[in-house]
Structure 1
C-alpha cells in the first residue's frame, strides 16, 4: 500500500502562493516606507524582494513530477530485488494485481512502480519493458482506496473537527509570526507564516531549496511547525478518533482476503501462474495513514489497548518532547506499508501435520517505508504468527463493518485543545 510520489502543488495551493507573492510585496513596501531614509538597514532577505511563485500562471496542479516518478520507479526495483522469488515468473494481471485510485498522480505512480518492478520482463525498448495493467475504480465507488469519500460519519467528524484543529494551531502560528516578523522587520500574520511554511516544504521537497522560505525559521520554529502539521494529521487521519481508521475496514478485509487466498494456493500446491502472488495498491496519504493505524503502528506504551477500546489517544507530545506520530514518517510522498506472508517449513518432512498446525506455520511481517516494524499487537515482535495477527490486530476491527462505522457519529468524538504555553 503506497502513497503517490512527490507531486506539484494543487491548484488551490498554487493560488495561495500567488496571494503570498502579492502579500510580500505589500509587507516589503510598507517596511521600506516606514524605514524612509534608513531603508538600506532593513534586515530582510534579498530573495524576498520581487519574489514570485515558481508555479505562477499554472492553471493545473497536483500532477506527479519527475522526482515522484523516480521515487516509485526505484521502489519497484528495490522490491523486486528484495523479494526476487515472488517476481520471478511471467507477468499476468491476476498474479500481480495492481490497482490505483482514479486520481492521475496515483495511477501514474502505479505505472512508474510497475516499470521498475517488471524491467527486463518484456521486449519493449532497450530496457526490455512490458505492458501491464493498472485498474482504477470510480472515486464514488472506490471503497478500498478512497473510503474517506464515502464515509458520512467521517465527513461530519472532519467538518466539525477542522475548526478545533485551527484553534490548536493558531497560538503557535501567532507566536512564530511575531518572532519572525520582529527578526525581519516585517508585519507577518499567522496566515503569512502558514503560507511561508507551506512554501518552505514545497521548495525543499520539489526544488531542493532550503535557504529561502525554510531559512526564515530557526530550528525551534521548524520543530513547532512540523508539530502543528502532525497534530492535524493525527486528528483528521490518525488516532484522534477511531472513525479515521475504522472506515478503512474494506482495505483491511482486502488484505486478509489476499492472505487467505495465498494460503489456499500454497496448501493446494496450485500451479504457478494460476494464483495471485502480490497485491499492489497506490493511493494517498488519507489512505496510507488510516491503514497504518489499523495495524497499530506508531503507538507507545498502553496505547494499543486504548485503540482496542476505541478510545481516542492523547495528542502527540509538543517539542522538544519526542513523539512517535510524525507525518514525515507516517505518510510521506511515496510512503508505503507492506505486509509479507511467510510460510515456515517443518524440519520433519515425514511428519503428518494437522490443518491447525499448518496454520501455525504462517507469519506476517509488516514493513513501513521498507523497514520492519515491531507490532504492539503482537508482543512487539516483527514476525507475527498469522493467527495472532488476525486475533489481536485484525479481528477487533472486524467487529464493525463499513456501514456501521460510516452511518453514525460515535459517542466518543473528542475535541482536543492545547494551550500555547
Structure 2
C-alpha cells in the first residue's frame, strides 16, 4: 500500500512538473516589448494589499503611462531585412549538403520580413490603441466619481511627449475615458486637449533627452553593457548552430531574438523565431535585455532615476494643489482632478525607481544613498527586476490621492498602483497606502539634495568624477555584437 501511495505521489509530481513546463508563455518574457494584456495581471501573490478604510475617497489621480504597442522603427526594419539576407546565405550554404536542411525549420526557407518595403515605422498599432482605450474605460469605471465630472482641460489635464505614438496613445486613452459623454459620431465622443512640450525642453516626460550627463553616461557605458551580454549570446549562438546545423552568427541570434519579440507582440506568432529557442534560452535572452534596462535606465546608476525628479516633484505639487482645493471646499469642476501623462519606457522606468518599486526594503536605503545595486540575478534564479512587468507596452504607474476625513492625524493618503495593481512602497513600511506627509518625507525628500540642473550639467559631473565601476572597467571585444537599443 505504501509503495502504491509513493508511486501515485511520484506520478503527481511528474504531472505537475510537465504542466508547469507547458504554461511557459514566451509572450510574457519579451522584456519591454511585451504587450500589456499578457502581463498586466501578473502580481506578487505573497503580497497582501492594504485595505482602504471606509470613508476614504479619491480626490486626485496622477497617471504616468507608456505608449501602447507600436510597430518596429525604420532602423529595426532595416535590421530585419539584413537578417533575411543572412538567413538566405545560410540556407544556400546548407543546400550544398542536402541532409543538413532536414534540421532547418521550414519557415526559414525563403523567409522575408513582414515589414519589408514598409516606409515608416514606430507608430502606434491597433493592439496598442486597444490597450490605452481599454485602460481609459477601466479607470472611468474604477474611479467613477473622481473621473465623472464634465470634461475641462483644467480638470482633466492630458499631457504627452512630442512623439506620435505617445500622443496617439493619449488620444486612444481619452476616447475610452470620455466616450459616450459628447455628441461626435455614433460613439458620442467629444473633443479634448492634449498638451505637449518640445523634445528639446521636456524635462518632465523626456528628461533623458534633455539631460546631457545622462546621454554621455549612456554612450560611454553601452560597450561595457554589450560585453556583459556577449557570453549569453555566444552560448546560444553555439547551441542553435548545432541544433539546426546552420552557421548562425552572434548578430543573427541578436536579430532573431528581436524578431521573436516583434512576432509574438505584434503578430501573435510564437512558433517561428521564438520557436528556435527553448524556454531556458528565452529566459537568458530576456535577462540580457533586463540587465541592459537595469544598468542604463534603472537602479544601475543613481543618475538614471534622479534625472526624473522634476516629474516626481510635479506629481507631489499636483497633490498639494488638490489638498488645498479640498481643504478650501472648492466646488467640483473648479480644480484639477487628474493629471494624465503619456510617454515612454525611459520615463516609466526611472519614475518607478524613484518610488523604490521592485526592491527589497534593505535595498531601498541604498538608493536613498544613491548607491548602485547589484545586477539582477541570472536565471534560473528569481528576480524582481523584469522589464516585461516594469515597463511593458502601455505599462503605467498611478498615484491616487485619498481624503480620509475620519483619520485626524493623517487625513491624506497616496495609493500606489503599478499596472493597475497595488504595489508595496519600501519607503512606507512596504504598504501601498501611504500617508501623504510620509510619502513626501520618505520618497521625495531624500532625493532633493541636488536639482535637475546640477544633476544633468556636464560641467558639474566633471567636477565630481565618480570612481571607476566594475561596469566601466569591463574590456570591449573587437568582435562585439551591435548593442540592442530598446528604441522605446
TM-score interval for Structure 1 and Structure 2 normalised by the shorter chain: over 0.9
| Higher relative contact order (Cα pairs below 8 Å, separated by 6+ residues) | 2
Would you say 1:24 and 2:87 are equivalent positions?
yes
Question: 1:414 deviation in Å?
Answer: 3.0
1:66 aligns with 2:129: no
Distance 2:452 2:229 in 1: 31
* 1: CA distance, partners of 2:200 / 2:423: 33
Quote the residue 2:176 is aligned against.
Answer: 116
| Structure 2 counterpart of 1:169 | 229
Change in Cα spacing, 1:362 to 1:99, as seen in structure 2 (3 Å) is same
Which residue number corresponds to residue 205 of structure 2?
145
Structure 1 residue 399, shift from structure 2 partner: 2.0
Alpha-carbon distance change, 141 to 380 in structure 1, aligned in 2, over 3 angstroms: same
C-alpha deviations, 1:291-332, integer Å up to 9, x for none?
A: 000100011241101001110000000000000110001111
Secondary structure of 1:127's partner?
coil
Contact between 1:241 and 1:413, CA under 8 Å: does it hold in 2?
Answer: no
Superposed, 1:183-332 pairs within 5 Å as 183-332=243-392
The secondary structure found in structure 2 opposite 1:311 is coil
Render the CA deviation track for 1:57-91: whole Å, top value 9, x for unaligned.
11210000000000000000001111111111100
Q: Distance in 1 between matches of 2:418 and 2:468?
A: 28
1:42 Cα shift? 2.6
* 1:50 positional shift: 0.4
Q: After alignment, is 401-410 or 378-387 more displaced? A: 401-410
Q: Which residue of 1 aligns with 2:424?
A: 374
8 Å CA contact 2:153–2:192 kept in 1: the answer is: yes
Alpha-carbon contact 1:312-1:414 (below 8 Å) kept = no
Query: 1-side partners of 2:401 and 2:214: how far apart?
Result: 31
Q: Distance in 2 between matches of 1:59 and 1:415?
A: 42
Q: 1:390 and 2:440 equivalent? A: yes
Q: CA RMSD in A?
A: 1.4
2:224–2:474 contact (8 Å) kept in structure 1: no
Aligned twin of 2:449: 399
CA contact (8 A) 1:311 1:412 kept: no
Which stretches of structure 1, 4 residues or longer, exceed 4 Å deviation after superposition?
none
SS at match of 2:197: coil
Structure 1 unmatched runs, 5+: 348-352
For 2:140, the equivalent position in structure 1 comes to 80
Offset of residue 382 of structure 1: 1.0
Kept after mapping to 2: 8 A contact 1:102/1:137: yes
1:155 to 1:250, Cα distance in 2 relative to 1, 3 A: same
- After TM superposition, give the deviation of residue 413 of structure 1 in Å: 6.3
Distance 1:413 1:121 in 2: 57
* Number of residue-to-residue matches in the alignment: 406
Distance 1:299 1:161 in 2: 23
Q: Tell me the residue number matched to 1:350.
A: none
Change (3 A) 1:418 1:204: farther
Which SS does the other structure have where 2:122 is aligned? coil
TM-score by length of 2: 0.81
Q: Provide the rounded CA distance (Å) in 2 between the counterparts of 1:412 and 1:173.
A: 29
Name the CA distance, whole Å, in 2 between partners of 1:414 and 1:300: 23
Matched, 1:336 2:391: no
Where does residue 411 of structure 1 map in the other structure?
466
Match of 2:219 among 138, 143, 159: 159
Task: Find out whether 1:362 has 2:428 as its counterpart.
Answer: no
Tell me how far 1:400 sits from its aligned partner: 1.7
1:43 to 97, 100, 103: 103
